[in-house]
Amino acid sequence: MEVRINGCLERSLNGRALPFAGREMKAFLAYVKWLSTGIPRAAKLVGAGTLSVKEPGRAADPRHGAKVYADFCAACHGDNGLGQRAERGAGYQFPPLWGPDSYNNGAGMARLLTAAAFAKYNMPVGTTFDAPVLTDDDAYDVAAYINGQPRPEKSHLERDYPNRLQKPVDTAYGPHADGFSAEQHKYGPYEPIRARRKKLAAQSE
């Protein structure tokens, strides 16, 4: 759990890892334990996890994504994607989606399919997973537009995924073992990548 928490801090929040024995880490662990109190281990919770989008079988279109962003996202996250600061105290009322305070390129949200799924089932604000506002194509393209903007870069990402054939297909940063470009890993289409990896995995057995 400590590793997962630090992963969120270092990637999704572009911050620093906490010492495992420190006061702040102990507080995080206590909070997670409290959240799960009274929930059966095998419980199947409605809305748990993230549903996936149906991939359109093409490369994402950031130009269409820019229109989706303007129509559905800019009111909260700003025309410039830098979010809206909280009226009181530190932090944001609506978080930045790019720029220096956003998640970095090693975060899960920097992956197109992850960002598209989150956008479809949670955005715009007030959306619920069982009544999405965005179509699969809208979510796919707006995720590409958002992730095509400047954001912090995490160092040593080449150490992720020692088995590179198990690297998520939408991980834009290299190195890759399948011969496809970083551009295709970032924007798709993904089925050719999956097919090539399946073939390479079979050859290595």
Amino acid 76 reads: C
Residue 37 confidence (pLDDT) above 70? yes
Q: Which residues make Cβ contacts (< 8 Å) with residue 151, sequence separation at least 6?
A: 98, 99, 102, 103, 104, 105, 110
Report the pLDDT value the prediction gives residue 50, as an integer from 0 to 100. Answer: 72
In single-letter form, the type of residue at position 8 comes to C
Q: For 12, which DSSP code?
A: I
Q: What is the pLDDT of residue 190?
A: 98
Give tens-digit pLDDT for 161-182. Answer: 999 999 999 999 999 999 999 9
H or E element at residue 200: helix 191-204
Predicted local confidence at residue 47, as pLDDT: 56
| High-pLDDT (> 90) share of the chain, % | 88
Q: How far is CA 137 from CA 62, 91, 104, 128, in A?
A: 11, 31, 24, 18
The pair phi, psi for residue 127, each rounded to 5°, is -70, 140
Residue 165 DSSP symbol: G
- For range 27-40, the mean pLDDT: 92
Q: Kindly report which listed range (32-36, 62-66, 139-143, 184-188) carries the lowest average pLDDT score.
A: 32-36
Q: Which two tokens stand for residue 22?
A: 């420190």
Whether residue 70 is predicted with pLDDT greater than 90 in this model: the reply is yes
Residue spans per domain, the chain: 2-35, 62-147, 167-204
Q: Which of 28, 3, 31 is nearest to 17 (CA)?
A: 3
Whether the CB-CB separation of 16 and 10 falls below 8 Å is answered with yes
143 pLDDT more than 80: yes
- Tell me if the domain spanning 62-147 has CATH number 1.10.760.10: yes
pLDDT tens digits for range 39-48: 887 776 665 5
pLDDT at 44: 67
Torsion angle of C-alpha atoms 84, 88, 89, 94, degrees rounded to 10: -20
- CA-to-CA distance for 178 and 33, rounded, in angstroms? 40
Q: What is the mean pLDDT of the chain?
A: 95
pLDDT tens per residue across span 80-135: 999 999 998 889 999 999 999 999 999 999 999 999 999 999 999 999 889 999 99
Residues 186 and 105: their CA atoms lie apart, in Å, by 11
pLDDT of residue 46: 64
